[in-house]
């Protein structure tokens, strides 16, 4: 039978996780964790986190509400899968390939703020081509809905619900930490990155989705923004290795318009009237403008 039963899936996932117990750190007391009975991660002080049936681990001690909902993640997935972030994915793949430690050791990659997981899955899919050493992908997000979506779709990646402000992972662990269009926590990045490791952060540029922003905000202040402060903050935390602007225009299939409107927080600050206008207007193309930063720890 091709379809794996849920119980089998859970067991397969638990066996997979069993090989990576040293990855985890208790988010409450920072002590080491063990996988017990292939079903719970338990720390030395008995704080306990169960594996969900979908195979992810929920390491939040209490549920947190976020403004990001399932519809936003579903929309982002449609946009990712249609390749709108393709050039960004390729650039990150290049940075990982160039910065990877010598062969022989497994490459460990964390996506901090992974959402529904498509970016990480696509990046891992591309890096595998050029790697003989094997890869470990770990996705962390504070949204349980996002992690459920990720774990249902993408196997062989460790998906974890958790708070980046007290991330449930061990120190000096990752070769790469990715932080794509998501909030950062630099203190935690510095703690978790290996001494030779690199942090790759993607921030929106001035023209990111400008056609859509023009409709949603007109000539108001929100329409313009600068990423200078974000860049400066990154530079004060890491030695900057690379800054690259990736800017391109995408011809829009009209079926992508609604997910494009839904995938970003851009809609939060606009009016119903303008939203209606955005839906009526036939946007023929949209600009993707991103800045990709790569840095390493100051030594």
Residues at the interface with Zn ion (CB under 5 A)? 26, 28-29, 43, 45, 47
Residue 92 CB contacts under 8 Å (≥ 6 apart), including other chains: 123, 178, 180, 200, 202, 292
> Comparing C-alpha atoms, which of 255, 257, 258, 245 is closest to residue 286?
257
CB of 24 to Zn ion, least distance (A): 10
8 A C-beta contact, residue 82 and residue 122: no
Alpha-carbon gap, residue 220 to 286, rounded angstroms: 19
CB of 146 to Zn ion, least distance (A): 24
Would you say 83 or 171 has its CB closer to Zn ion? Answer: 171
Would you say 29 or 239 has its CB closer to Zn ion? Answer: 29
CB of 54 to Zn ion, least distance (A): 24
Would you say 160 or 283 has its CB closer to Zn ion? Answer: 160
Q: Give residue number: closest CB to Zn ion.
A: 26
Would you say 28 or 52 has its CB closer to Zn ion? Answer: 28
Would you say 34 or 81 has its CB closer to Zn ion? Answer: 34
CB of 25 to Zn ion, least distance (A): 9
Alpha-carbon gap, residue 275 to 223, rounded angstroms: 15
CB of 166 to Zn ion, least distance (A): 11
Q: Which residue's entry shows tokens 């939203």?
A: 275
Alpha helix segments (H runs only) across 161-225: 186-192, 210-217
Alpha-carbon gap, residue 21 to 40, rounded angstroms: 11
């Amino acid at each position: 039978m091709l379809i794996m039963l849920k119980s089998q899936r859970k067991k397969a996932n638990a066996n997979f996780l069993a090989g990576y117990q040293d990855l985890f750190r208790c988010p409450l007391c920072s002590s080491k964790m063990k996988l017990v009975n292939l079903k719970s991660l338990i720390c030395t002080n008995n704080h306990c986190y169960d594996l969900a049936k979908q195979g992810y681990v929920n390491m939040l001690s209490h549920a947190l509400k976020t403004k990001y909902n399932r519809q936003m993640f579903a929309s982002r997935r449609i946009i990712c899968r249609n390749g709108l972030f393709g050039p960004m994915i390729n650039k990150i793949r290049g940075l990982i390939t160039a910065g990877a430690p010598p062969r022989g050791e497994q490459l460990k990659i964390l996506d901090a703020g992974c959402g529904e997981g498509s970016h990480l899955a696509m990046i891992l899919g591309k890096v595998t081509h050029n790697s003989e050493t094997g890869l470990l992908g770990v996705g962390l997000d504070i949204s349980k809905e996002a992690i459920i979506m990720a774990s249902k779709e993408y196997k062989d990646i460790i998906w974890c619900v958790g708070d980046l402000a007290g991330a449930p992972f061990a120190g000096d662990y990752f070769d790469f930490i990715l932080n794509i269009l998501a909030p950062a926590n630099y203190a935690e990045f510095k703690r978790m990155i290996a001494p030779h490791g690199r942090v790759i952060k993607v921030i929106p540029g001035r023209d990111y989705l400008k056609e859509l922003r023009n409709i949603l905000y007109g000539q108001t202040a929100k329409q313009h923004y600068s990423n200078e402060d974000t860049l400066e903050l990154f530079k004060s935390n890491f030695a900057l290795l690379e800054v690259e602007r990736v800017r391109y225009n995408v011809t829009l299939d009209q079926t992508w318009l609604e997910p494009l409107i839904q995938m970003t927080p851009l809609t939060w600050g606009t009016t119903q009237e303008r939203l209606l206008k955005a839906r009526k207007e036939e946007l023929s193309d949209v600009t993707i403008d991103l800045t990709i930063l790569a840095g390493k720890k100051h030594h």
